[in-house]
A and B are shown apart, each in its own frame.
Chain A
Amino acid sequence: MAENLLLQALSGLASASSLFLVAAGLTVIFGVTRIVNFAHGSLYMLGAYLAWTLVTALPRGPLGFWGGVLGAALLVGLIGVLVEVLLLRRIYRAPELFQLLATFGVVLIVQDLALLVWGPQDLLGPRAPGLRGSVEILGLRFPLYDLFLIAVGPAVLGLLLLLFHRTRWGTLVRAATQDREMVGALGVNQRLLFTSVFFLGACLAGLGGALQLPRESVNLHMDLAIIVEAFVVVVVGGLGSLVGAFLAALLIGELHAFGILVFPRITLVLVFLVMAVVLVLRPHGLLGRPPEAPPAGAGGAEPPLRPAPPALRRLGAAALAAAVLLPPFADAYALSVLTEMAIFVLFAASLHFIMGPGGMASFGHAAYFGLGAYAAALLAKWAAAPMAAGLLLAPFAAGLFGLLFGWFCVRLSGVYAAMLTLAFAQIAWSVAFQWVEVTGGDNGILGVWPDAWAADPLAYYYLTLAFCLGATLLLRRVLHAPFGYALRAQRDSPLRAEALGVDAFQVRWLAFSLAALAAGIAGGFFAYAKGSVFPTALSIPRSVDALLMVLLGGVRTLSGPIVGAIAFTGLQEQLMRLVELWRLALGAVIVALVLFFPQGLAGAARAAYERRHGPAGA
């Protein structure tokens, strides 16, 4: 038994090494550029693929193998430079979430490019020459290569610390991590510094991926699998802290290794549970420090919310008339798309409610959408309840969990808050995925059909439209009520708001719960529209969808989420139908939007309107 535990611990250390390499790159890049690089997992995946190509193409033997691994790491570094120069360099001043959106566009592009180049099948790499066998530890065999990996982590940590503390470049990086504006004013070329930091970070990710080659097959799911864990490691360790990332990687690696032994049923929850506990106890991670000042030039002051100008009112009325009058002439497919659009308009508006006016980022808004959907579906499955009961329970269930999770999340700010929302969403997802007896696990819950009176797609569409649009307009109304003023005041300056008697925590908490409740309504309607619920309803991609909708439409306008939800749903639907490489196309569209419409679609429309007519509503 003791031998088993030791081996398990060693294997945990081995997987911690790769995780550390990726997380180290992520944390270094974030420290200097303040960019949360979603595409870091893609760089890791590219490292593995490129290593496979190089190692199989080069002559066999140690030189071919290690040359291939290092070559892949350097190539990935160059790809990182390409991404930095072509894309990120242009958006360093954009709001944090916008940068996240851009890097997510890169994720989509890389996924399809990898599919094009290497095909959909898993690729198996050769074993490492000289490290093929295994050693005997306490009578049990342990792979030699894993022992080697265990040594790689601390070695890289040591080299990085030397680099950062013993070289001029390292001094510049440490200075820029603290105050990049001052570094520039002292005559240091920041562009070169940022690009070189990105090169190093990308190399580390590439190396992490390349070193996995002898351990596991290379596939197209590596990117999202590692990026979520790397985020967890970086956040648990403390953003920007290398040693923190190392400790957190060990923690997460061991957690995985022992989680399987001790709690095989809740392995997935465990990691996020630990992250949630760490963030609640230490809001800036194990070794992180609270930021000294908000990054300069990030977005600037928010413009005030104004009532819709007449032109927009007319446009809205026309859109509403179309949404009411045209569907009787639509076919079943169009109706289902329209129903989905109505649902996503509310889903996006609920996220925008906390993100825009509330100033809180959420990476896990799908949790409340999915909780609403599951509440409705579970009630239908286990109590055979009528549809109305399910639709009624959905917002209450989502709102209750919003109260519970929100109580923790709204205490934090920025990326940490976003990560905690992600952790709670992942916990909810893991429960839906692993509690098979109740939720059906991956098979989901089927047969969630509307009652007879709403069974006709057209009738169900009108029902959805009425409730989702009504809830969206209510959210909008709240923003123009005193509660909305308080919400925006605490976003702009928590201190000043509190000095005026606004209880910032309570306002944020209530707003968070209200948004969760609204997402729950959308989720309930979604369950009955699809006739089934799967864990994907509360997965990360669903949360990202919501973020995309809001950012695509524009965070700073109230109509943004509405425009964004319609545009995104339509775009994705059409792309998936017409284009084989729809991820590539969607990614390219996102990147183009970030570069050319940094205000979002609605924001760009408003800017164009104001250029012609002067400030709207003035």
Chain B
Amino acid sequence: MSEVMERRRPAAAGTPMLEVRNLEAWYGESHVLHGVNLEVHEGEVVTLLGRNGAGKTTTLRAVMGLVGRRSGSIRFRGQEVINERPDRVARMGIAYCPEERGIFASLDVTENLLLPPVVQEGGLDLDTIYRLFPNLKERARSQGTKLSGGEQQMLAIARILRTGAKLLLLDEPSEGLAPVIVQQIGHTIQELKSRGFTVLLVEQNFRFAQTVADRHYIMEHGRVVDMVRNEDLAASMDRLHEYLGV
């Protein structure tokens, strides 16, 4: 069955960097994902859009191996990772920045930055990171949770750029931040794209998503129900309004 699907895909697209097929996931007894299909190609910025509870965050967590139980297939650069532990997934080159940012309160900014182990060559060095996020340099010795929301978000993104991971899973980086900071984060994502990073982004903020992404997947009830290219966005507005209620 999956072989048939593989043959049907256009050859021009090549092997996707991340390919998720029929992904199902459970938290305890509750069945959250009911067969998610999506793919992300190298160099792309792709968003997952959808209402609250559609399963966007769970999709990212399932890719990392952070949900209780999952089934289906998750291929990273052609390699199956569905049965791998989170740390193994991270070491293969997928980096994760959670919605709640996951900053360690008892560690200072530098310690937070240096915590993730380098998994392969090609990560950004500290100087480059500080150039991208000048605020972090000023606050290098501050405790993680003494930072502002925007600074915490930047730290959470910054620390996964060092490791050499090329696929970034970002969960709502714009959430709860002032418009000017959201803009800054948008620039950062564009900058990362130009540096060759691939990004899978969960967003509620539709306006923010369209400034950074190449394609958008729409999720509903634990499934991907539609896909829209950024250039077709204007033409698909009615459809999107219906899905998202924006």
A interface list, Cβ under 8 A from B: 168, 171-172, 174-175, 177-179, 181-190, 292, 297, 300-301, 303
Please tell me which stretch of B115-123, B130-138, B212-220, B231-239 contacts chain A, meaning at least 4 of its Cβ atoms lie within 8 angstroms of it: B115-123
Which residues 88-141 of B sit at the A interface, judged by CB distance below 8 A? 90-91, 95-96, 98, 102, 104-107, 111, 114-117, 119
Contacts of B163 in A (CB 8 A): 186-187
Secondary structure call for the A interface: helix
Contact B115 A172 (CB under 8 A): yes
Chain B residue, CB-CB nearest to A165: B111
Q: Which of A179, A188, A292, A303 makes the CB contact (< 8 A) with B116? A: A188
Q: Report the separation of the CA atoms of residues A245 and B165 in the bound assembly, to the nearest whole angstrom.
A: 40
Kindly report which residue of chain A lies nearest to residue B118, judged by CB atoms: A187
Determine if A187 and B104 form an interchain contact, defined as CB atoms under 8 angstroms apart: no
Residue from B28, B87, B102 within 8 A of A188 (CB atoms): B87
* Residues of A close to B159: CB separation below 8 A: 186
In the A-B complex, the 7 residue pairs with the smallest Cβ-Cβ separation, listed nearest first, are A187-B90, A300-B28, A182-B102, A186-B116, A184-B86, A175-B104, A185-B86
Bound CA span A188–B91, Å: 8
CB contacts (< 8 Å) of B102 on chain A: these are: 179, 182, 185-186
For A300, list chain B residues within 8 Å (CB): 27-29, 68
In the bound complex, CA of A297 to CA of B106 (Å): 22
Given contacts A175-B115, A300-B29, A301-B29, A185 and B107 within 8 Å (CB-CB)? no
CB atoms of A187 and B117 under 8 A apart: yes
Interface residues of B (CB under 8 A from A): 27-29, 64, 66, 68, 85-87, 90-91, 95-96, 98, 102, 104-107, 111, 114-117, 119, 159-160, 163
Give the Cβ gap from B153 to chain A, nearest Cβ, in Å: 15
Q: Are B104 and A184 in contact (CB under 8 A)?
A: no
How far apart sit A75 and B87, CA to CA, in the bound complex (Å)?
30
User: Closest Cβ of chain A: how far from B25's Cβ, in Å?
Assistant: 14
In the complex, 22 of the A-B residue pairs with CB atoms within 8 angstroms, ordered by the A residue number, are A168-B114, A171-B111, A171-B114, A174-B107, A175-B104, A175-B106, A178-B104, A179-B104, A181-B66, A184-B85, A184-B90, A185-B102, A186-B95, A186-B116, A187-B90, A187-B163, A188-B117, A189-B87, A300-B28, A300-B29, A300-B68, A303-B29
Q: Which residues of B contact A171 (CB under 8 A)?
A: 107, 111, 114-115
Closest CB in chain A relative to B92 CB, distance in Å? 9
Report the separation of the CA atoms of residues A190 and B107 in the bound assembly, to the nearest whole angstrom.
Answer: 18
User: CA A168 – CA B110 in complex, angstroms?
Assistant: 12
**Residues on the B chain within 8 Å of A301, using CB:** 28-29
Complexed CA–CA distance, A181 and B115 (Å) = 14
CB-defined contacts of B160 to chain A, threshold 8 Å: 186
Check if B87 sits within 8 Å of A190, measured CB to CB.
Answer: yes
CB atoms of A185 and B90 under 8 A apart: yes
Give the chain B neighbours of A189 by CB distance below 8 A.
Answer: 87
> Min CB distance, A514 to chain B, in Å?
30
B-side interface mostly: loop
The reply to whether B106 and A177 contact each other, CB–CB distance below 8 Å, is yes
Please report the C-alpha to C-alpha distance between residue A292 and residue B116 in the assembled complex, in whole angstroms.
22
- Counting chain B CB atoms within 10 Å of each CB, the highest count among A178, A182, A297 belongs to A182
Cβ contact of A186, chosen from B105, B111, B115, cutoff 8 A? B115
CB closest residue in chain B, given A93: B68
CA distance A186 to B164 in the complex (A): 12
Are A175 and B107 within 8 A (Cβ)? yes
**Could you say which of B66, B86, B91, B163 has the most chain A C-beta atoms within 10 Å of its C-beta?**
B86
Q: Which residue of A lies closest to B169 (CB)?
A: A185
**Bound CA span A182–B95, Å:** 11
Query: Please, how many angstroms separate the alpha-carbon atoms of A183 and B106 in the complex?
Result: 13
Note all chain A residues with C-beta closer than 8 A to B85.
184, 190
Chain A residues, CB < 8 A from B66? 181, 184-185
Residues of A within 8 A of B115 (CB): 171-172, 175, 183, 186, 188
Cα distance, A175 to B113, chains bound together (Å):
12
* Pairwise interchain contact B105-A187, C-beta atoms closer than 8 A: no
A181 to B66, CA, bound (A): 8
Q: How far is the CB of B86 from chain A (nearest CB, A)?
A: 4
The answer, among B29, B68, B86, B105, for a CB contact under 8 Å with A181, is B86
Complex interface: chain B residues within 8 A of A174 (CB) = 104, 106-107
Contact residues in B for A184 (Cβ distance below 8 Å): 66, 85-87, 90
Q: Which residues of B contact A186 (CB under 8 A)?
A: 87, 90, 95-96, 102, 115-117, 159-160, 163
Closest Cβ–Cβ distance, residue B106 to chain A (whole Å): 5
Bound: A171/B91 CA distance, A: 19
Instruction: Tell me how far the C-beta of A92 lies from the nearest C-beta in chain B, rounded to whole angstroms.
Output: 12
Contacts of B119 in A (CB 8 A): 187
Determine if A185 and B104 form an interchain contact, defined as CB atoms under 8 angstroms apart: no
Max chain B Cβ within 10 angstroms of own Cβ: one of A181, A187, A190, A292: A187
With a cutoff of 8 Å between Cβ atoms, the chain B residues found around residue A172 in the complex are 115
**Cα separation A292 to B103 with both chains bound (whole Å):** 12
Chain A residues with CB under 8 Å of B29's CB are 300-301, 303
Q: Is the CB of A182 within 8 A of B98?
A: yes
Q: Which residues of A contact B86 (CB under 8 A)?
A: 181, 184-185
Q: Which residues of A contact B104 (CB under 8 A)?
A: 174-175, 178-179, 182
Chain A residue at smallest Cβ distance from B116:
A186
A292 with B105: in contact, given A186-B115, A188-B117 (CB under 8 Å)? yes
> Complex formed: what's the CA distance from A567 to B96 in Å?
48
Considering the complex, give the chain B residue whose CB is closest to the CB of A184.
B86
Distance in angstroms between the alpha carbons of A294 and B95 in the assembled complex: 24
For the complex with contacts A175-B104, A177-B106, A185-B90, 16 further pairs of A-B residues with Cβ separation under 8 Å are: A168-B114, A171-B114, A175-B115, A178-B106, A181-B66, A181-B86, A182-B98, A183-B115, A185-B86, A185-B98, A186-B87, A186-B90, A186-B116, A187-B87, A190-B87, A301-B28
Tell me the minimal C-beta distance from A162 to chain B in angstroms: 15
B68 touches A187 (CB 8 A): no
Interface pair B96/A178, CB less than 8 Å apart: no
The smallest beta-carbon distance between A16 and chain B, in angstroms, is 26
CA distance A178 to B27 in the complex (A): 22
Per the bound structure, the CA–CA distance linking A185 and B163 in Å amounts to 12
A292 to B96, CA, bound (A): 21
Closest to B61 in A: A185
Of A174, A175, A188, the most chain B CB neighbours within 10 A belong to: A175
Complex interface: chain B residues within 8 A of A179 (CB): 102, 104
**Nearest-CB residue, chain B, relative to A178:** B104
| Distance from A110 Cβ to chain B, minimum over Cβ atoms (Å) | 31
How many Å lie between the Cα of A249 and that of B43 in the bound state?
57
A174 to B27 alpha-carbon distance, docked (Å) = 27
User: Are A185 and B64 closer than 8 Å at their CB atoms?
Assistant: yes
A582–B104 Cα distance when bound, in Å, is: 46
| A177 / chain B contacts, CB cutoff of 8 Å | 106
Which residues of chain B are within 8 angstroms of A297 by Cβ–Cβ distance? 68
Q: Is the CB of A185 within 8 A of B96?
A: yes
In the assembled complex, the Cα of A190 lies from the Cα of B98 at a distance in Å of: 18
A182 partner residues in chain B, CB cutoff 8 A: 98, 102, 104
CB-CB under 8 A from B105, the residues of chain A are: 178, 292
Chain A residues with CB under 8 A of B114:
168, 171
Q: Closest approach, in angstroms, between the C-beta of A252 and any C-beta of chain B? A: 26
